[in-house]
Amino acid sequence: MFTKTMTLALGAALIGTTALAAETPVKEIDVEADLAAIENPAAAAHFATLETDLEGRIAELLTPENLVGADAEGVKISVDIDELELASTWANQADFAESKIAALVNVSSEDDHSKFDNYTLSVAYPDVLVFLPEGADASSLTMDSDIYYEAMLTAVADHIVTHLK
């Protein structure tokens, strides 16, 4: 019980400070996933809106002052989701604890060369638990659960936003 309470408290603290952590102006967010590469129709349907959902979640975690227009100075965040990892995760639903989203994240700026960053991000099941809504039962989650999907999006977006330079 203590661990679960502390985990939820940590998740709330992380979400609460995410917007404050990113002082970098962002002018564009682009998430790409080749969903046609996912051969399982159920998985492809489940992740059909992943690109726009993740773009929106990243934007939600930025302060309004840091989400600037395309004509302003700021960085472009590009996220290339690893479709093979998504397909693999879906195929191994029996081992839900091994589920994850992997992506290549690229942050670039035409105006400030100190803002460049490029890294591989992997968010796995244990990382997502702190982003579950209060009262959610982690033992009842499934790969196709909306609660798990939303928590996974938040975990990925939180990592990207908090690691902006």
Beta strands in 8-99 (DSSP E): 26-32, 75-81
Say how many C-beta atoms besides its own lie within 10 A of residue 91's C-beta.
14
The full set of domain ranges for the chain reads: 2-162
Mean pLDDT in residue range 18-24: 57
Q: At what angle do helices 50-61 and 2-21 cross, to 10 degrees?
A: 80
Domain spanning 2-162, CATH class: alpha beta
Could you give the CA distance from residue 6 to residue 11 in angstroms, rounded to a whole number? 9
8 pLDDT tier (thresholds 50, 70, 90): very low
Q: At what angle do helices 2-21 and 146-162 cross, to 10 degrees?
A: 50
Inform me whether the pLDDT recorded for 5 exceeds 70: no
CA-nearest of 143, 128, 153 to 11 is 128
- The predicted pLDDT at position 84 comes to 85
Mean pLDDT in residue range 134-156: 91
Strands 75-81 and 100-109: antiparallel
Q: What are 46-94's pLDDT values in tens digits? A: 899 999 999 999 999 998 899 998 888 999 999 999 998 888 877 776 6
Beta-carbon contacts of residue 3 (< 8 Å; ≥ 6 apart): none
Q: Who has greater pLDDT, 18 or 42? A: 42
- The predicted pLDDT at position 94 comes to 63
Could you give the CA distance from residue 63 to residue 10 in angstroms, rounded to a whole number? 20
The upper half-sphere exposure of residue 136, i.e. CA atoms within 13 Å in the direction of its Cβ, equals 20
Q: Who has greater pLDDT, 16 or 143? A: 143
Inform me whether the pLDDT recorded for 4 exceeds 80: no
On average, the pLDDT of the chain sits at: 84
Give backbone dihedrals phi and psi of 134, rounded to 5 degrees, phi first: -55, 135
Could you give the CA distance from residue 75 to residue 5 in angstroms, rounded to a whole number? 36
